[in-house]
């Protein structure tokens, strides 16, 4: 029978950033990353990325440092909850109100 290329016979879909709309517009808390606590930043090596894995909106990059697309981050706090080193803190959006106007 031989080996078949099953990829050609199946289809799948993957969700991506923005599939849920501009979720960042109703966020009440913003995730803020502290690179001094983040494992890939400290080791300058691709490692951990648990935040990337768990983010339901796929808005965290798998880069050094990880970046968060605030346009689509809904502020659920899962990344902060799952980060093993507590490198992500959820901060009240009101604290950024003035900053964002500039
Ligand atoms: S889970 Fe925490 S330590 Fe790991 S990559 Fe994300 S922010 Fe850095
Ligand atoms: S708070 Fe964290 S886990 Fe939730 S959507 Fe934003 S980046 Fe993703």
Summarize the confidence of residues 66-81 as an average pLDDT. Answer: 96
What is the 8-class DSSP label of residue 60? B
Distance CA(35)–CA(46), nearest Å, equals 14
Q: Which ligand 2 atom is nearest residue 30's CA?
A: 1
Minimum-distance ligand to the CA of 34? 1
Q: In this predicted model, what pLDDT tens digit does every residue of 19-50 receive, in sequence order?
A: 777 888 889 999 999 999 999 999 999 999 99
Residue 37 tokens read as 């606590």
Write down the H helix ranges in the chain: 39-43, 50-54, 78-82, 97-101
pLDDT at 14: 74
Q: 6 C-alpha to center of ligand 1: Å? A: 35
Q: What spatial distance separates the first Cα and last Cα of the chain, rounded to whole Å? A: 65
Query: What pTM does this model have?
Result: 0.84
């Amino acid at each position: 029978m031989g080996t078949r290329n099953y990829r050609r016979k199946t289809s799948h879909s993957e969700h991506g950033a923005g599939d849920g709309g501009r979720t960042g517009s109703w966020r009440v808390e913003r995730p803020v990353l502290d690179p001094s606590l983040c494992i890939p930043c400290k080791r300058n090596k691709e490692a951990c990325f648990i935040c990337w894995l768990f983010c339901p909106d796929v808005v965290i990059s798998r880069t050094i440092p990880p970046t968060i697309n605030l346009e689509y981050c809904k502020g659920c706090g899962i990344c902060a909850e799952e980060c093993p080193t507590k490198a992500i803190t959820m901060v009240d959006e009101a604290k950024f109100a003035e900053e964002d106007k500039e």
